[in-house]
Amino acid sequence: MNSSSSLDISGSLESGSVNNVRWEITNPSTSSGTFDLLIRRGDDTTNNKIVLETWTGLSLDPSGDNFISRVIGDQVENYNVTKNQIDVTGSFRNASRYVRVKEVVEPTLNYFDNNGIAKAEFTPLIPVASSGSFKSATGDLKDGTKFYQNIEANNTQGLDGGNYTNMISLLSNQDEYVYNALMAPGLFNSGHASECTSLINNTQVRGDALLILDLVPYNSTVTAVNSQAASRNTSYAASYWPWCQVIDPDTGKQVWVPASTVVGGVYAYNDSVSEPWFAPAGINRGGLGQVIRAEQKLTSSQRDSLYTGKVNPIATFPGTGVVVYGQKTLQTRASALDRVNVRRLLIQLKSYISQVGQTLVFEQNTIATRNNFLAQVNPYLESVQQRQGLYAFKVIMDDTNNTPDVIDRNQLIGQIFIQPTKTAEFIYLDFNVLPTGATFPA
């Protein structure tokens, strides 16, 4: 993303692009010890500047409110593999969207003397009016980086699967990162089995999210997709196929992307117009308006084969367009949890009830505390029932499950029984032709 500092006759960077940034110092003043800083786009010119940010009245004096590090920020985040966390170094929160101050080599502490005059040893340190670019970037993207439909097991957007390992591990920290759906476009089960296993394991341990898992690369077959789905068995993940064609927002080209790239939008739309416990599928809530076409127009038998194999088909219907047409999880055993809407219902319920429980930790283990829990949970579950999420429910937190020995162990136990609503995924209609004058059955 960085460019050389060579300029052509128009003052543009020879290899500058919209993704580069460049800097410019303006209005330096040795009498006041201040200067302005412009952050410019890398593809502009001297006579046609595209200014991204303007920072005025900056100084190199650490004691001043306008100290450049204080104003722009100097913090950097690095992954600590030993602690499995992000460590932040630096003294000032970053305010710029594009740059940070790495170091002030020669600070001008107490720039003025007692008479308010700039000290002679500091005035030469004020930067002169000039401009330049950022260069010497580091990284290990592969040569011949492959994107979109060209990604493969050993080259997915310039990386291999192992490059994702640390960040996948980081997402296992439930206290630090809160989300209810996880997508990893670029990782697919047939080529990145180890990383996909880590994603599934983390999601299962957290118990508060659903993973949208891609199974195969571009240009695969129904047989290959079903084979990959058969290798996974979890209600905390769901898969969709085939790939979809969308428009690259940067180039305007039509490109192919894995289903996880667009299915997240279906989930968001579903939740905005209904509730998480409604199926994010079908013509009403499963439309993929941003998708130009699916990689393959599935036949009815192909959709049935995929759905039997735990893969949610992305179907194409005349006059309707591209639609998510399934809502199974990757759980093999038939139960309520083999459906996305039920798993997302439980995620939603656990999220709310866990928050209620956290407010009661370290409170007195008495009837009053139990009643406090029930007074918050029961009305919430009633509202979910009214919004078609539950057929019935029951919450027990009383002396039957909080016996004296339980209380002596400093525990508070509650039991929640629910009957989740099911979706109508198969509709059967019988048409009967009767003779004229026949009586319709009651």
Domain assignments of the chain as residue spans, ordered by start? 21-133, 148-341, 380-442
Please name every residue paired with 418 in a beta bridge, in sequence order, or none if there are none. 393
Task: Report the C-alpha gap between 244 and 300 in whole angstroms.
Answer: 18
Give the per-residue pLDDT at 438: 81
**Averaged pLDDT, 148-170:** 94
Give the per-residue pLDDT at 12: 82
3-state DSSP assignment of residue 77? strand
**Averaged pLDDT, 13-32:** 88
High-pLDDT (> 90) share of the chain, %:
83
C-alpha neighbours within 13 Å on the C-beta side of residue 142: 16
DSSP state letter for 440: P
Band of residue 248 on the pLDDT scale cut at 50, 70, 90: very high
Find out whether the peptide bond into 242 is cis, omega within 30 degrees of 0: yes
Give the per-residue pLDDT at 136: 67
* Contacts within 8 Å (CB) and 24+ apart, 407-410: 407/365, 410/365
On whether the CB atoms of residues 216 and 240 are closer than 8 A, the answer is no
Counting every residue written for the chain, the total comes to 442
The yes-or-no verdict on residue 185 having pLDDT over 60 is yes
According to DSSP, the β-strands at 181-188 and 210-214 are parallel
Q: Which of 198, 196, 178 is nearest to 188 (CA)?
A: 196
Task: Report the C-alpha gap between 126 and 128 in whole angstroms.
Answer: 6
Give the per-residue pLDDT at 134: 79
The CA angle 233-268-157, to the nearest 5 degrees, is 65
3-state DSSP assignment of residue 384? helix
Give the per-residue pLDDT at 26: 96
Give the per-residue pLDDT at 144: 85
Give the per-residue pLDDT at 138: 67
Q: What are phi and psi of 118, to 5 degrees?
A: -60, 135
High-pLDDT (> 70) share of the chain, %:
98
Helix H, strand E, coil C: the string for 258-274 is CCHHHHHHHHHHHHHHC
According to DSSP, the β-strands at 34-41 and 21-29 are antiparallel
Give the per-residue pLDDT at 437: 81
**Averaged pLDDT, 67-77:** 97
What's the pLDDT tens digit per position in 258-279?
999 999 999 999 999 999 999 9
Give the per-residue pLDDT at 18: 82
Give the per-residue pLDDT at 157: 92
Band of residue 2 on the pLDDT scale cut at 50, 70, 90: low
Rounded to 10°, the helix 222-230/300-308 angle is 10
Task: Report the C-alpha gap between 55 and 73 in whole angstroms.
Answer: 12
Give the per-residue pLDDT at 441: 79
**What single letter denotes the amino acid at residue 354?**
S
Give the per-residue pLDDT at 427: 75
Q: What is the chain's alpha carbon radius of gyration, rounded to the nearest angstrom?
A: 30
Band of residue 433 on the pLDDT scale cut at 50, 70, 90: confident
**What single letter denotes the amino acid at residue 187?**
L
Q: Which of 106, 92, 99, 85 is nearest to 33 (CA)?
A: 106
What mean pLDDT, rounded, does the chain reach? 93
Band of residue 326 on the pLDDT scale cut at 50, 70, 90: very high
Q: How many Cβ atoms are within 10 Å of 209's Cβ, its own excluded?
A: 22
Give the per-residue pLDDT at 137: 65
In CATH terms, 148-341 corresponds, of 3.40.50.360, 3.90.870.10, 3.40.50.720, 3.40.50.11780, to 3.40.50.11780
